[in-house]
């Protein structure tokens, strides 16, 4: 006991003496005292944060019985067993594609043409849309009234739409009426009369439609966004054309447009639902005999007047509008660009939100969370538009005038942050959301036929969903950062804004926030 007391009271003895003395003891070495808690405030905060993270990483097992807060890659193989898409190319270059579902009692039949407002000239701008209106006004075999009655008697639906690069005519009918629908489509596309009186009457209809579109601010925003982003190029013109052109379009202009652009190699006839491929191909051979076989492709036409992105802005101040709306866009990717899939994932990461729909604070998108928590917008939406040689990628938002500065900062910060910091969890979640939305989009014969026609025009084939999902799953955090550096980092932007936008920052403010200075 005396030796033990000596050791505790004499800590300054030499090391040799202590080691010699302790060697004679048989008692075990005392355990060290517990580490005192850190005294620095930041150390204490770090410990609390780590404890919260551990709780998040190990959630309640009862909760995990139903779902998990952590996104995971899911095997979609059972879902991807979709029917085969069969494609037949006729000698004149016309492509016929079908996806049969014999269990279905309805079918969608359509004609997809690789022609739109982009392939017009400055003098003929608006002809493609004017033609869409006139195509239902009577043929050599059917008058306008007879055409409407025939569709109604079948209980079918006949419609059309024109975009900047494609024009579509389609019909939804019962299975027994597929031959009749195909006959009507071939008749209106090859034998329309374009009566002069009906052309004059249709001018007023289109002019009224233009006035209605002017009242839809979202349509106006994206028209002006294209006009400023692709100024002095055909892609920057509106689909409806100018009022002066609508008043001056003639029957010869319409016929010349058909002869030039409605050619067999640039046309796809697609059907889905209750159709048999062999029978459908035989019907197409008999009916579509007047299409031109001109081999000029849209790629050659685009090369003559390519789209050129210009960093610029257009602002229309209107204090009579209660809410301010603006769209910010970078130059995006074309349909066939290898990075187009990554931009689709990035669009899903940014997400969309509407104040009237609720939620937002617990959504996966950091941009949506910041916008909803701070309540700086009425709605916002990320968009990714593809064309043959370019695209637009950005964010559209609607907000009260007093919140424009804060909203612009949040949007630009979220966009530029993709160049620096991206988590694997956010990318996986966005990939899963993108795959789900793609599958939900093809629910029905109409969307399937549209998907077939559009993909054959843009890719030359229909990409199987197993292949498309594999490409989506190949996108990871490093891919997103690389693509963001290509399209966002220190790149010019296009900006279009409408409404009480006096407090919206200027163009140079936006341009400076396409990158961050990090030291």
Q: Percentage of the chain surpassing pLDDT 90? A: 61
pLDDT at 53 over 50: yes
Give the residue among 139, 134, 145, 114 at the shortest CA–CA distance from 251: 134
pLDDT in tens, 33-45: 666 666 667 677 7
- Span 290-349, pLDDT tens digits: 998 888 888 888 888 889 999 999 999 999 899 999 999 999 999 999 999 999 999 999
Report how far residue 250's alpha carbon sits from residue 254's, in angstroms, rounded to the nearest whole number: 7
d(Cα 242, Cα 121) in Å, to the nearest integer? 12
99, 120, 165, 202: the active-site residue: 202
253/247 Cα distance (integer angstroms): 12
Helix 178-190 with 144-154: angle, nearest 10 deg:
160
Backbone angles phi, psi at 322, to 5 degrees: -70, -35
Contact 341, 472 (CB under 8 A): yes
Residue 355 CA to its chain's centroid (Å): 21
132 given a catalytic annotation: yes
Spatial contact of 477 and 427, defined as CB atoms under 8 Å apart: yes
What tokens were used for 136? 């239902």
Instruction: Select the more confidently predicted residue: 20 or 57.
Output: 57
Q: Tell me which H or E stretch contains 15.
A: helix 15-23
Mean pLDDT of the chain: 86
Instruction: Give Cα 347 to chain centroid, integer Å.
Output: 7
Rounded Cα distance between 297 and 308, Å, is 20
Q: Quickly list DSSP for 106-166.
A: EEEEEEEES--GGG--TTTTTHHHHHHHHTTS-BSS--HHHHHHHHHHHT-EEEEEE-SS-
* Predicted local confidence at residue 32, as pLDDT: 63
> What's 326's DSSP letter?
E
The residue from 132, 165, 331, 378 that is catalytic is: 132
Sheet-wide strand order for 379-386: 312-317, 494-499, 324-331, 391-399, 379-386, 352-354
> Is residue 281 within a helix (H) or strand (E), and if so which, with residue range?
helix 277-287
Q: Which of 16-30, 402-416, 468-482 has the lowest mean pLDDT?
A: 16-30
């Amino acid at each position: 006991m005396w030796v033990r007391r000596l050791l505790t009271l004499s800590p300054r003895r030499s090391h040799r003496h202590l080691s010699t003395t302790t060697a004679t003891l048989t008692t075990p070495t005392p355990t060290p005292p517990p580490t005192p808690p850190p005294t620095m405030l930041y150390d204490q905060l770090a410990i609390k944060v780590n404890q919260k993270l551990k709780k998040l990483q190990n959630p309640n097992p009862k909760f995990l019985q139903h779902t998990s807060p952590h996104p995971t890659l899911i095997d979609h193989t059972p879902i991807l067993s979709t029917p085969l898409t069969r494609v037949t190319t006729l000698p004149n270059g016309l492509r016929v594609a079908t996806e049969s579902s014999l269990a279905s009692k309805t079918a969608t039949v359509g004609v997809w043409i690789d022609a739109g407002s982009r392939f017009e000239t400055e003098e003929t701008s608006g002809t493609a849309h004017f033609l869409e209106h006139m195509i239902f006004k009577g043929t050599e075999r059917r008058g306008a009234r007879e055409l409407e009655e025939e569709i109604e008697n079948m209980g079918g639906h006949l419609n059309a739409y024109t975009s900047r690069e494609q024009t579509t005519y389609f019909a939804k009918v019962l299975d027994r009426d597929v031959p009749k629908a195909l006959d009507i489509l071939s008749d209106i596309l090859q034998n329309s009369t374009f009566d002069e009186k009906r052309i004059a009457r249709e001018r007023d209809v289109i002019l009224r439609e233009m006035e209605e579109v002017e009242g839809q601010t979202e349509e106006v925003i994206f028209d002006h966004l294209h006009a400023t982003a692709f100024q002095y190029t055909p892609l920057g013109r509106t689909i409806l054309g100018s009022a002066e052109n609508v008043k001056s379009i003639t029957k010869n202009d319409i016929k010349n447009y058909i002869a030039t652009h409605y050619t067999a190699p640039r046309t796809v006839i697609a059907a889905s639902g209750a159709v048999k491929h062999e029978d459908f191909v035989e019907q197409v051979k008999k009916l579509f005999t007047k299409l031109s076989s001109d081999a000029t492709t849209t790629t050659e036409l685009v090369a003559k007047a390519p789209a050129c992105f210009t960093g610029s802005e257009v602002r229309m101040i209107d204090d009579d509008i209660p809410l301010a709306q603006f769209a910010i866009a970078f130059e995006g990717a074309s349909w066939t660009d290898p990075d187009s899939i990554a931009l689709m994932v990035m669009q899903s990461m940014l997400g969309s939100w509407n104040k009237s729909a609720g939620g937002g604070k617990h959504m996966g998108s950091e941009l949506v969370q910041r916008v909803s928590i701070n309540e700086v917008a009425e709605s916002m939406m990320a968009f990714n538009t593809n064309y043959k040689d370019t695209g637009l990628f950005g964010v559209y938002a609607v907000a009260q005038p007093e919140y424009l500065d804060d909203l612009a900062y949040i949007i630009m910060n979220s966009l530029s942050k993709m160049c620096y910091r991206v988590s694997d969890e956010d990318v996986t979640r966005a990939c899963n959301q993108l795959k789900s939305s793609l599958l939900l989009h093809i629910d029905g014969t109409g969307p399937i036929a549209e998907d077939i026609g559009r993909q054959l025009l843009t890719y030359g084939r229909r990409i199987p969903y197993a292949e498309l999902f594999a490409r989506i799953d190949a996108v990871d955090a490093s891919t997103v950062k690389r693509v963001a550096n290509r399209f966002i980092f220190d790149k010019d932007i296009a900006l279009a804004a409408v409404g009480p936008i006096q407090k919206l920052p200027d163009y140079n403010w936006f341009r400076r926030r396409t990158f961050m200075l990090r030291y």
